């Protein structure tokens, strides 16, 4: 306490000057609107700058939440897109029935291989989210793969960059079908085989899913034709396809669930069995 008193006596002149300065400034600001508005504007500017910096920090830390929100919105839009052909005929009767056939589940890749012959991905969604084996997996650029195995919280995906992968696809312009495989050589390219030589195909044509299975809807992007090879033994084309997807850099993905797949697969199996 004695130190405080000594400090006040020692600096009494300076403290008195500061007190008088503050008092005079206060009286000036209160009695003159111009000075008052200038001070207020300066304070608002300083406060605004502080708030702006705080907002930048908050925005940075909320990026993951915002990305997840956008991914969920994209999943809803893709559900509408994949069902649009069915919805044209049903929306007149019921505005909801057109969106019942295909559903979309949003997920995220937590592990990805792409440099071995048999590549797989792992996603952070599983059977608890409704994911089952043989469901198609896509992202904003195109196809990714097919669900291989599931656990309650996770699932593994057979990548399109897997020598065991075989997906129905077609040349969009000519509508000629083939089987999409991977030769195990380049992570940026897959091959469309068994395309008839009578097919009108050329470099730069777009390749999409064929829709002849319950795994992928029709017309999901795959890539573009980079090279065309002729198999002299089988009289078919083999098309080298440059993927739209960068399979080495995957994050958010969408799992396609076809609610009619179980019925279709059961019927087809019964048909095959009956003709054996």
**Which secondary-structure segment (H or E) carries 274?**
helix 261-274
Which residue bears the tokens 């929100």?
Answer: 69
Q: Based on the structure, what is the number of domains in the chain?
A: 2
Q: Determine, yes or no, domain membership for 172.
A: yes
Using the predicted structure, report yes or no on whether residue 128 has a pLDDT greater than 70. yes
pLDDT digits (tens, 9 = 90+) for 150-196: 999 999 999 999 999 999 999 999 999 999 999 999 999 999 999 99
Residues 14 and 117 in one domain: no
**Do 121 and 157 form a contact (C-beta atoms < 8 A)?**
yes
Residues 53 and 129 in one domain: no
pLDDT digits (tens, 9 = 90+) for 13-64: 776 667 776 776 666 656 655 555 554 445 444 444 554 455 555 555 555 6
Residues 132 and 247 in one domain: yes
pLDDT at 31: 62
Q: Determine, yes or no, domain membership for 21.
A: yes
Residues 119 and 186 in one domain: yes
pLDDT at 43: 46
pLDDT at 141: 87
pLDDT at 97: 39
Residues 208 and 138 in one domain: yes
pLDDT digits (tens, 9 = 90+) for 212-255: 888 998 889 999 999 999 877 778 999 999 999 999 988 889 99
CATH number at residue 244: 2.40.10.340
**Do 258 and 99 form a contact (C-beta atoms < 8 A)?**
no
**Do 239 and 191 form a contact (C-beta atoms < 8 A)?**
yes
Q: Determine, yes or no, domain membership for 88.
A: no
Average of per-residue pLDDT across 135-139: 92
Is the dihedral angle over the CA atoms 168, 172, 177, 182 positive or is it negative? negative
Q: Determine, yes or no, domain membership for 69.
A: no
Q: Determine, yes or no, domain membership for 119.
A: yes
DSSP 191: E
pLDDT at 269: 74
pLDDT at 46: 47
Q: Determine, yes or no, domain membership for 85.
A: no
Residues 56 and 120 in one domain: no
The upper half-sphere exposure of residue 150, i.e. CA atoms within 13 Å in the direction of its Cβ, equals 16
Residues 56 and 112 in one domain: no
The residues, ordered by sequence, that sit 6+ positions from 147 with a Cβ below 8 Å of its Cβ are 131, 132, 133, 134, 135, 136, 137, 155, 156, 157, 158, 255
Q: Determine, yes or no, domain membership for 76.
A: no
Average of per-residue pLDDT across 250-263: 83
pLDDT at 226: 96
User: Please, is 269 exposed, middle or buried when counting C-beta atoms within 10 Å of its C-beta (0-12, 13-18, 19+)?
Assistant: exposed
pLDDT at 170: 94
Residues 151 and 29 in one domain: no
Residues 271 and 137 in one domain: yes
Strand ranges for the chain from DSSP E: 102-112, 118-123, 136-138, 143-150, 155-162, 167-171, 177-181, 189-196, 206-209, 221-231, 236-243, 252-258
Helix, strand, or coil here: 56?
helix
Residues 198 and 256 in one domain: yes
Which range marks the domain in which residue 219 is found?
103-276
The upper half-sphere exposure of residue 258, i.e. CA atoms within 13 Å in the direction of its Cβ, equals 22
Residues 144 and 54 in one domain: no
Residues 111 and 236 in one domain: yes
Q: Determine, yes or no, domain membership for 32.
A: yes
Nearest residue to 195 via CA among 210, 183, 184:
210
pLDDT at 235: 82
- 162 vs 242: CA distance, rounded Å: 15
């Amino acid at each position: 306490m004695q130190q405080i008193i000594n400090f006040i006596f020692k600096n009494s002149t300076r403290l008195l000057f500061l007190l008088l300065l503050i008092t005079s400034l206060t009286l000036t600001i209160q009695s003159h609107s111009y000075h008052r508005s200038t001070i207020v504007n300066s304070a608002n500017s300083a406060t605004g700058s502080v708030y702006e910096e705080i907002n930048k920090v908050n925005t940075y830390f909320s990026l993951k939440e915002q990305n997840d929100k956008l991914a969920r919105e994209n999943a809803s839009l893709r559900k509408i897109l994949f069902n649009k052909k069915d919805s044209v005929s049903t929306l007149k009767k019921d505005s909801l029935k057109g969106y019942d056939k295909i559903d979309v589940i949003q997920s995220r890749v937590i592990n990805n291989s792409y440099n071995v012959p048999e590549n797989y991905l792992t996603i952070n969604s599983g059977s608890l989210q409704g994911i089952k084996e043989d469901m198609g997996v896509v992202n904003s650029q195109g196809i990714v793969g097919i669900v291989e195995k599931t656990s309650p919280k996770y699932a593994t995906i057979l990548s399109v960059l897997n020598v065991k992968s075989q997906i129905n696809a077609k040349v969009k312009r000519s509508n000629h079908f083939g089987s999409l495989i991977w030769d195990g050589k380049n992570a940026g390219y897959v091959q469309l085989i068994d395309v008839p030589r009578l097919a009108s195909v050329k470099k730069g044509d777009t390749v999409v899913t064929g829709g002849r299975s319950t795994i992928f809807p029709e017309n999901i992007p795959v890539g573009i034709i980079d090279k065309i090879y002729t198999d002299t033994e089988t009289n078919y084309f083999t098309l080298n396809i440059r993927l739209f997807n960068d399979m080495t850099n995957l994050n958010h993905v969408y799992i396609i669930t076809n609610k009619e797949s179980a019925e279709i697969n059961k019927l087809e199996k019964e048909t095959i069995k009956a003709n054996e």
